[in-house]
A and B are shown apart, each in its own frame.
Chain A
Amino acid sequence: MVKPTRVTNSIRAVREAAGMTQAELAKRIGVTRQTLIAIEQGKYSPTLELAFQISRVFGVGLDDVFQYPEA
């Protein structure tokens, strides 16, 4: 069983609010659509660099896209 990451993200909500498809976002950040799906579903933790790229696409801060619980 894969240990779930504590990092959550709201990429899907932010992406849909921006009217962007998965394919478009995946192309912008240079990953496959399958990788973006895995990130959105919390099945893959992106590298810090990729996380910054994602938040930069939407012009928001890292904290607005990725969340980590306090305790």
Chain B
Amino acid sequence: MVYEERNLWSTLVVSVVAMIVYVIVILQAADGGPLIEVDWVPIMLWTIGASIVGAIVVSIVWGMVASVRDPDGTGKSDQRDRDIARMGNRVGYAIIVIPGLGVIALCAFEAHWFWIANTMYLGFAVSTIVGGIASVIAYRRGLV
């Protein structure tokens, strides 16, 4: 597995875990009550921060382990990595349109900030995950 693919897997795994943890923490904080009463801002900020740091840490640790087996491949990226990253980003951006429209609709109906912010957060998370999955498929099955 090349350096960029490892980074991709790190981001993908951490994003999925972060999204699941976020939903669980929010539901626990609500404790059966209305979700809009949850103090979601610090939870969301901590989740975003932790997922960024987590992806970096996982990537570094994985890279260290991988460099023992393949010292030459450490930190290398090439044209194929860039092409796959571009394709993955394109897929991710296409997905982000959906929550973007959802946020406009929620604003139009004067929905609570909780739903507006969380729709956007969910959109970013899903966009990252779907873009990541598309890139992983390209690494595994090819990009022509």
Contact = CB atoms under 8 A, between A and B. Distances in A.
Interface in B94-144: 138, 141-144
Nearest to B83: A44
Interface residues of A, number: 21
Contact of A32 (B73, B138, B143): B73
A44 B81 CA distance: 11
Given A38-B80, A50-B79, A32 B142 contact: no
B141 A43 contact: yes
Contacts of A44: 80, 83, 142-144
Contacts of B69: none
Interface SS, B side:
helix
**Would you call the interface of chain A mostly helix, strand, loop, or mixed?**
loop
A20 B46 CA distance: 51
Contacts of A43: 141-144
Interface residues of B, number: 18
B29 interface: no
Given A31-B78, A35-B79, A2 B143 contact: yes
Contact of A2 (B5, B78, B142): B142
Contact of A47 (B2, B79, B144): B79
Contacts of A35: 2, 78-81
Interface of B: 1-3, 5, 72-73, 76-81, 83, 138, 141-144
28 contacts: A2-B141, A2-B142, A2-B143, A2-B144, A3-B144, A4-B144, A31-B79, A32-B3, A32-B73, A32-B81, A34-B1, A34-B2, A34-B5, A34-B80, A35-B80, A38-B80, A38-B142, A38-B143, A41-B142, A42-B144, A43-B142, A43-B144, A44-B80, A44-B142, A45-B143, A45-B144, A46-B79, A50-B79
